[in-house]
Each structure stands twice: as C-alpha cells, then as structure tokens.
Structure 1
C-alpha cells in the first residue's frame, strides 16, 4: 500500500527551457533528507504537458538515478492516448519506477466506459502498480465512484490520487474501496479530512518547500491525533491558499525561486505570477519564515 507524503515534483528549467540537472538533484536531496515518503516526477506540477516524450522519460530516469532507491518514485506516465500512456509506463518500469501515476484522459473526455477501458488496458499491458489520478478540473471528466471501484478490482491498480474536490465522493471511495487500495489526496487543503476519514496520505505541492511539515501533518492524521492535525491544518491554510493563488505550478516554482532553489523559469504557455500574486506569495512565505532553506 502507498501511504504517507509524496511530493509532486517541480521541474527546474533554465532560461532556454532546458532541465537544470544540478538544481533537480539539490531539490531531491533535500526531500530525502527531510524524510519524504516518495517523489512524483512528471505530473502537472512538473509541467509534463510542455515536455516531449523523450524529455518526459529523461526526467523520470534522472529522478530514479538521483534517488538511488532511498525513496519511492511514482512516475507520472499518463496520457489522453492509451497507446502513449502504455509506452511511457513501460519505459518507467524498465527504468525502475516503483509505481505509475495515471492521469485521467484529458481533452477527449471519454465516457465512464471509455475511462474504464483506458485504465484497464494500461493495467493489462504493464506489470507495475498504477495510481489513478482523478482531477476533473483539468481533464473535464470525473472518474465516478462506480468506475473507480471496478478498476480497483485489477491487481495492478492499487490506488487513486483524488483531486475532484468532492469530499462526499472521496469519502464514498474510502468507504467502499478494498482495504489495500490507497486513497491519496491530490489537494493539500483536503489532506487532513481525507486521512482522518480513512485515507492514506497526500501527493503534495506544498511539500516541495515543506516536506517535513507536510510529513508531520499526514502522520498526525494517520495516528488519529485529531486536535494536533486540525491545529496544524489551520496553521498551514494561508500557505496552501497562497501556493494556489494561480494555476499550479506557477506559484510553487515562484516560491522555490524565492527560496533560492531554482530560477523562476516556466515553459509557455505558463508565465510568472501576476505582480499582486507574487507580492502575496512573498509575504506569505516571509510570514512562515521561509528563506533559503527548506523547513
């Protein structure tokens, strides 16, 4: 079972848009030193939609080589084309990834049967644990509870990253899913309620800059420390809000640049935060004591 705090990893770029390997290595070393459960490269936080398939595979390979088995690597290898998802997932398995994160097909908006067949075909084609990623705000299609429960019957489909924002749907998945099926939050702000109600952790954006803090928050919730988890949740809420003042990963990359871990470079069509949001972000980071060292 996948349980704990996983970082939805950013991808540092130089001004020309090339991956900066030494900055990526530094970020990963900090994550491991702060006790992160695992790292998730090439999700939306890693700007995967702007990366070629070759670059996609190269970043995953870099991350696996840099971690050296010291933490789990869940490789983002999803696509809205099933054959592409299979190809990327096979490459990740060959490189040594521990699991694959499979985003729901975007843009073409398949119906529930199409979603089911898409994920089942990948699961039948590659012998690696798959975590389904449900984020209808980006994909335009929600994976309904009934569909997900059907998918959970496949031995290779081991969990879901739930970012639907529908707390009732999330609770229903937790209630009905097999005991060994991981329900992981895809929304930092919903981590505590999800885990306290029986979920298993978070794939976090915030943990790029605060891996130890997010790890502590999840552990409190997993241990049933309700009052401590609630207090920490509310303490962190302004930070969560600031890091999502614009579309992810714009604010988190700006935050990491502010902290000195990378340059504030994005691949188009993403652009730096609006001045007011940059000011909000910097004020919030100062309020939390973030300078040039991960907490």
Structure 2
C-alpha cells in the first residue's frame, strides 16, 4: 500500500454559483475558485453532487470547467464530475471535460438502473478508456442505490487510469481493505470520515464544508501530518457542529452551503434553506471562526 495523492489532499466539492435569475454565474465561480485555492484547497471538484450536476446542462458543465481552469491556472487540480446514468453520455461528458482543461474525472456509479457489479465495472472501464485523464470513482450508494463493492474496486484498481475513489459508502472496513491492497487514492466524501480515513492511509478529502471553511477543514489533516493527533482530534471536534448542520440536518449540502455564501440560489427541485436553518448555520459558522 502506497498513499498517493493524484489530485492533492484538500479538495473542495465546489458549489455552482447562479445569478438571481438562475443562470450560470461564471464570474462568481471564478472568484470563489480563486479564494478556495488561496485558503488552502489543493483541488476543486466541479459538477458533482454539491455542484448541482443533475440540474446543469452539458454546456454549463463544460463552461464551468473552462472558467475555473482559467481562474486557478496550475495552482490547483481541477476534477470534473461527468457521471450520469448513461455510459454513452458519461463518455461524451468526459471528453468535453478533457477538452475544457480538466485534470481528472469524477465518475459516479450509474444510478436508478441499479446495474449489477459486472455492469458497474464495465461502465467505469469504458469511461476510463475514453480519455487520457485519471479517474476518481465516486462511491455514494445512498444516492445511486448501488455500491461499488470492495472486490470490484480491487479489480478496477488495475486499470492504468483509475487512480482514486471519492468514498461516501461509510464503510471503513471495506475502504481499509482496498487501501491496504491497492494504490488507489481514497478521498473521504463524508466530513465525519475525513480524519478516520486519513489515519488508515486515505489520501485526503473532497469536502462540501470546505466551501465555507476551507482553512478549518484542512487544519485537521495538517495537524495530523505534523504528528499532533490530539490537536487533529480537537480541531475535528470544533468542526462537528457546523458539519452536522450542513451535512446531516435533512437539508442537502448544496442548500446549506449556499445559505452561508453569496453564490445565488439553488435550482429546483431544491429549495433554499429557511430562516431558522440559516440562522443556525450562521451561528455554528461564527462559533467555528471564534475557535
């Protein structure tokens, strides 16, 4: 087992800014991307769950990748979400992202159709074969309905362009098994797992909370790398109230992140956070800043 970091260590699952009228807001996206990098993000994951990918068009996805690439240059890795329920469509999105300047691809398990594991494996191989970019598999069975089973991960790890996993399966045993037997870079996709997964050989995280608290999310792993595990745990505990409200309050992370940011509305069917939820989020955020 070798801990590799093909996309950096501290990645933000970036929101997609919209104007008040609901159009894609590229200038705000560029400003946000630059700020996140300046505050410690090694990479930006675009057009994922937090980026509202189900409600953005193919053209909007490509335009966002191109704009963020222009904004951050070579200062951060740009990973483009290209997943869909259709293998052919996913390949088209992957090729468009490559042409737009992405450094890598985030590919989610095909959803709704609930393909068996051989079909899941075939889907990822087909997409990985379609471009020259490294691939991050996105294992989020709570949304897709289908797990990428550890045995499937072990087989996919042999593909030369399948380099990483965004892990939202919340199965530390399964993740540790794959980490111990492959060179796949495991990135936590659930903030409460950032530190535990890192401690067993994970590569880092892809965080929604990092949209609003990039320095604080990164500081946990910085402390761990410095050998101060007690400080890492303390900082992780400080993040917990905000993480819980943003990610486990019954509202999607996109909604809670945008409630704390000047990044425009969410797109329907999502609805903005109500006043009570927003007030609670702001209180937790301010408490985190106070330390």
User: In the alignment, is the contact (CA less than 8 A) between 2:224 and 2:232 conserved in 1?
Assistant: yes
- 1:236 alignment counterpart: 239
- 1:282 alignment counterpart: 282
User: In the alignment, is the contact (CA less than 8 A) between 2:91 and 2:127 conserved in 1?
Assistant: yes
Structure 2 segments unaligned to the other structure (5+ residues): none
- The answer to whether residue 54 in structure 2 is matched with residue 56 in structure 1 is no
- 1:99 alignment counterpart: 104
- The answer to whether residue 11 in structure 2 is matched with residue 10 in structure 1 is no
1:76-225, aligned counterparts within 5 Å? 76-178=81-183, 181-225=184-228
Structure 1 segments unaligned to the other structure (5+ residues): none
Q: Secondary structure at the match of 1:137?
A: helix
**1:16 CA displacement:** 2.0
Q: Secondary structure at the match of 2:289?
A: coil
User: In the alignment, is the contact (CA less than 8 A) between 1:185 and 1:194 conserved in 2?
Assistant: yes
User: In the alignment, is the contact (CA less than 8 A) between 1:77 and 1:102 conserved in 2?
Assistant: yes
Q: Secondary structure at the match of 1:161?
A: strand
User: In the alignment, is the contact (CA less than 8 A) between 1:196 and 1:222 conserved in 2?
Assistant: no
CA deviation map 1:53-75 (0-9, x unaligned) = 11111111111111122211011
**1:255 CA displacement:** 1.2
TM-score (norm 1): 0.92
Q: Secondary structure at the match of 1:288?
A: helix
User: In the alignment, is the contact (CA less than 8 A) between 1:196 and 1:224 conserved in 2?
Assistant: no
- 1:74 alignment counterpart: 79
| Structure-1 separation of matches of 2:126 and 2:280 | 44
TM-score (norm 2): 0.93
- More off after superposition, 18-27 vs 276-285: 276-285
**1:220 CA displacement:** 2.5
| Structure-1 separation of matches of 2:30 and 2:100 | 17
**1:224 CA displacement:** 4.2
- More off after superposition, 13-22 vs 40-49: 13-22
**1:110 CA displacement:** 0.6
Give the root-mean-square deviation of aligned CA atoms.
Answer: 1.6
| Structure-1 separation of matches of 2:252 and 2:13 | 14
| Structure-2 separation of matches of 1:109 and 1:223 | 43
User: In the alignment, is the contact (CA less than 8 A) between 1:145 and 1:173 conserved in 2?
Assistant: yes
CA deviation map 1:150-204 (0-9, x unaligned) = 00100000010000112222222222223xx201100111100000111110001
| Structure-2 separation of matches of 1:227 and 1:128 | 38
